Amino acid sequence: MAKYYVNKNAQSNGDHEVHTTGCSYMPQAENRIYLGEFITCRSAITEAKKHYTQVNGCYYCSNACHTS
Ligand SMILES: [Zn+2]
């Protein structure tokens, strides 16, 4: 299980990126929402979509859920 977070700030393309603990691109604490602990990033994406309609897995830490 890993802890996942979603960035409160959208990327330039409108995506709110989902990150897991230890990612170099993890947003600062005030700029992220804790989603919970999940086995896969898919579950984290589903949770993140409760907060934002446009979400995407981080290319670096959640590549399996990253779409370009
Ligand atoms: Zn990341």
Nearest to 17 by CA among 38, 8, 51: 8
Give the distance (Å) from ligand 1 centre to CA of residue 12.
Answer: 16
Mean per-residue pLDDT, 57-68: 96
Q: Tokens for 68?
A: 């370009």
Tokens 């979400």 belong to 55
Give the distance (Å) from ligand 1 centre to CA of residue 13.
Answer: 16
Widest CA span of the chain, in angstroms?
30
Mean per-residue pLDDT, 50-67: 98
Compute the mean pLDDT over every residue in the chain, rounded to the nearest whole number.
97
pLDDT of 68 above 90 = no
- Report how far residue 59's alpha carbon sits from residue 18's, in angstroms, rounded to the nearest whole number: 9
Q: What is the pLDDT of residues 27-50, one digit of tens each?
A: 999 999 999 999 999 999 999 999
